[in-house]
């Protein structure tokens, strides 16, 4: 069977390609594909169980059986349903506009709107930073961010959460992520905003490379 394999961040760099086309025997599982790739790219062994897998944009277990035509992604550790009219969660390679993200959740029922803006800082981990590079699995990242938004709405009824994240080259001071949470009361808005950024850093397939004066590195390879 024929499979498309997507690689990101440090995996992509080691493989020298962001996408591979492979043939595997019928009945092969995610773990079989991973073992095949680990023979070629040792980083899969180095990162061990910190590497997650997805099949057709959904998180997958190692024992999941693959089918012809599947799109499989191996995801290094991450750097930490809306209506049709407004897309609440987006990945973009353009500068983020806080007011535009707030407008996605604004409404007459919103007694409080809380925003979080994560900017690129000039120092991190004791190093002097020159700029950052962000890479994402965009289709899956937007889907995972929407899950966060949906979860916030279920946990705090009446709450709406919008998330926008940058990719590409970011200079010092530029916004990497903007989150806006609107709720009938301020307490729920604060809680939903904190929940969104904390969960995003754990589950959304976005990777950060720090380019410092003394070298460059993918952050989660140096956690």
Mean pLDDT on 33-60? 87
Residues 15 and 49 occupy one common structural domain: yes
Share of the chain above pLDDT 70, in %: 94
Q: What is the pLDDT of residue 219?
A: 85
Together in a domain, 158 and 200: yes
Residue 59, by phi and psi: left (phi above 0), alpha (psi -120 to 50) or beta? beta
Looking at residue 222, its pLDDT comes to 30
Domain count across the chain: 2
Question: Which residue range is the domain that position 9 belongs to?
Answer: 2-75
Would you mind telling me the total number of residues written for the chain in this entry? 223
What's residue 223's pLDDT? Answer: 30
pLDDT at 81: 40
| pLDDT, averaged across the chain | 90
Over residues 73-77, the mean pLDDT reads 84
Whether 81 is covered by a domain: the verdict is no
Separation between Cα atoms, residue 154 and residue 149, nearest integer Å: 9
Q: What is the pLDDT of residue 221?
A: 43
Indicate if the pLDDT at residue 84 is higher than 50: no
Of the candidates 66, 50, 48, the one whose C-alpha atom is nearest the C-alpha of residue 58 is: 66
* Mean pLDDT within 51-56: 90
Tokens 């939903």 belong to residue: 192
Region 195-215: what's the mean pLDDT? 94
Residue 136 contacts residue 54 (beta carbons within 8 Å)? no
Residue 23 has pLDDT above 80, yes or no: yes
**Could you give the percent of the chain with pLDDT greater than 90?**
72
Phi, psi angle pair for 164, to nearest 5°: -130, 135
What are the residues whose beta carbons fall under 8 Å from the beta carbon of 136, sequence distance 6 or more?
8, 91, 165, 167, 204, 205, 206, 207
Q: Say whether both 156 and 184 belong to one domain.
A: yes
pLDDT in tens, 179-193: 999 999 999 999 999
- From the centroid of its chain, how far is CA 98? 19
The CATH number of the domain holding residue 7 is 3.10.20.30
Closest CA to 173 of 117, 103, 93: 117
- Residues 150, 112 share a domain: yes
84 within domain boundaries: no
The pLDDT value recorded for residue 107 is 86
pLDDT-based confidence at 79, cuts 50/70/90? Answer: low
């Amino acid at each position: 069977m024929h499979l498309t394999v997507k690689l990101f961040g440090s995996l992509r760099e080691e493989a020298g390609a962001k996408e591979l086309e492979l043939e595997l025997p019928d009945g092969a599982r995610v773990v079989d594909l991973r073992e095949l790739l680990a023979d070629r790219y040792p980083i899969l062994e180095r990162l061990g169980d910190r590497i997650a897998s997805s099949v057709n944009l959904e998180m997958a277990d190692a024992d999941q059986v693959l089918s012809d035509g599947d799109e499989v992604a191996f995801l290094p550790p991450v750097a930490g349903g809306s209506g049709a009219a407004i897309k609440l969660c987006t990945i973009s390679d353009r500068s983020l506009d806080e007011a535009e993200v707030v407008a996605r959740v604004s409404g007459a029922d919103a007694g409080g709107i809380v925003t979080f803006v994560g900017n690129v800082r000039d120092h991190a981990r004791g190093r002097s930073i020159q700029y950052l590079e962000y890479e994402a699995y965009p289709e899956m990242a937007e889907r995972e961010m929407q899950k966060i938004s949906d979860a916030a709405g279920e946990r705090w009824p009446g709450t709406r959460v919008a998330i926008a994240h940058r990719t590409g080259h970011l200079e010092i001071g530029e916004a990497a992520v903007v989150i806006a949470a609107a709720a009938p009361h301020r307490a729920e808005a604060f809680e939903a905003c904190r929940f969104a950024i904390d969960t995003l850093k754990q589950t959304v397939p976005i990777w950060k490379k720090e380019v410092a004066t003394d070298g460059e590195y993918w952050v989660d390879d140096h956690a």
